[in-house]
Structure 1
Amino acid sequence: MIPASLAFFIFTGLFSPGPNVILLTASGARFGFRATVPHILGVAIGVGVTAGLTGLGLGAVIVAVPALTMVLKLAAMAWILYLAWSLFKSTRAPRAQAQETPFTFLQAVLFQWVNPKVWAVAVAASSFVADQGAVSAGLALAVAFSGINLGVCLFWTSAGHLLGRLLSDEVLWRKFMTVMAAAMALSALLVLR
């Protein structure tokens, strides 16, 4: 059983804006809810795997090796800035569907390895299960993160889908995508703190 305090911590950590929230909201707006489902599932599974490995001790290793931490931060920053640029230059759906595609399941899973917010929340959450054995802690975090994050992903993708329907004006659409790209770029800069 997952303690309520851990569930609340995970929910607040994952629900607040960060790279996944921004990408899912933008994807829901650009491509629609149905086309974003593989992305949603990839994020939920990827976050669970990352959290589970953190509970098994990988998070402690990363924190203990400053050079590895810096390499992960630089990789995360570069990838997030690339995604911000992609959002900025994206086109309006349905034209976007001919030229661009939403994240695949695998891309979304792999993105979690360089998502600094997920690592930060997972490392902090591991303190909630520190009294358990490594396998139990890893399993508890994997299940909690995947289950809670699935709801978070569904919410933000639905919100983006609704926004996409409201933003029929090209000027409003460009402003929305510029805000999404700027938020994504800002999250890249926060990696180095």
Structure 2
Amino acid sequence: MTVAVLPFLAFAASQVGTPGPANMALMATGARFGLRAALPFVAGVALGKQFIIWPVGFGLMQLAASAPWAFEALKWASAAYIIWLAWRVANLRLGEGGAAEAPGFVAGLIVHPLNPKAWAMITGGFTAFVAPGTPAIEATATIAAVLFGCQVVLHPLWTWGGSLVAHHLRGTAAERYLMWTLAGLTVASVLFVLFGGGTT
């Protein structure tokens, strides 16, 4: 296969499931307003990532063909940044938002384009899980579909569980274990790609 779908699925699930800026916003929104009121925001967040995936996908696939060394450099830079983010995630603590009203669909659309973790995740997906020479449309559509599928499942779960998690785990030992587990899954998926042949 030219796109390592199953390894990328594991990577994407760990990334989308990691409590980064987007999931913290979703959790805080759910904690304050509940899933039903937050659904427009959830939909915007899920769709907004597509505004990064398609331009990045076509540009990076052209780069892989014309400058393989730059493609390889991006692979390692993205992996390093994601591991650094995982370290930060391990030390994050749950909290609640303080917005006066539930954010809507348009507010959700801009979450990922302004989120450096989303850019690193998408760049890492293309550089680590897509074989050089893969047609841009195939690579981009696959990455887009896998990420969107993970978001459709995991973003509502973060929102729905926001109030429960924030109320019961904030400030307890279990909160630390949760963060370290999610961070560990992220690092493990990156190491598998770097040293286990993620694009074969």
Do these two structures clear the TM 0.5 threshold for a shared fold by scoring above it?
yes
Runs of 4+ in 1 over 4 A off after TM superposition: 58-61
Pick from 48, 51, 58 the counterpart of residue 56 of structure 1.
58
Q: Which amino acid aligns with 1:124?
A: G
Distance of aligned partners of 1:57 and 1:8 in 2 relative to their CA distance in 1, 3 Å threshold: same
**Which TM-score applies when normalising by structure 1?**
0.61
**Could you tell me the percent identity over the aligned residues?**
28
Note the aligned Cα RMSD (angstroms): 3.4
The correspondence of residues 27-66 of structure 1 with structure 2, limited to 5 A, is 27-57=29-59
Number of residue-to-residue matches in the alignment: 141
In the TM superposition, residue 156 of structure 1 has moved relative to its aligned partner by 0.6
Higher normalized helix content (fraction of residues): 1
Q: Which amino acid aligns with 1:103?
A: P
Q: Which amino acid aligns with 1:46?
A: G
Match of 2:116 in 1: 116
Distance of aligned partners of 1:58 and 1:3 in 2 relative to their CA distance in 1, 3 Å threshold: closer
In the TM superposition, residue 60 of structure 1 has moved relative to its aligned partner by 8.6
User: Where does the alignment leave 5 or more consecutive residues of structure 2 unmatched?
Assistant: 64-69, 72-94, 176-200
For residues 39-62 of structure 1, give each alpha carbon's deviation from its aligned partner in whole angstroms, at most 9, with x where no partner exists.
11111111233223221116998x
CA contact (8 A) 1:47 1:112 kept: yes
Distance of aligned partners of 1:8 and 1:57 in 2 relative to their CA distance in 1, 3 Å threshold: same
1:154 equivalent in alignment to 2:156: yes
1:101 equivalent in alignment to 2:101: yes
Match of 1:16 in 2: 18
Match of 2:8 in 1: 6
Q: How far apart, in 1, do the equivalents of 2:137 and 2:165 lie?
A: 41
Q: Which amino acid aligns with 2:33?
A: F
Any idea what SS the aligned residue of 1:112 has? coil
User: Where does the alignment leave 5 or more consecutive residues of structure 1 unmatched?
Assistant: 65-86, 91-95, 180-193
1:26 equivalent in alignment to 2:28: yes
Match of 2:186 in 1: none
Q: How far apart, in 2, do the equivalents of 1:161 and 1:59 lie?
A: 41
Pick from 141, 144, 154 the counterpart of residue 142 of structure 1.
144
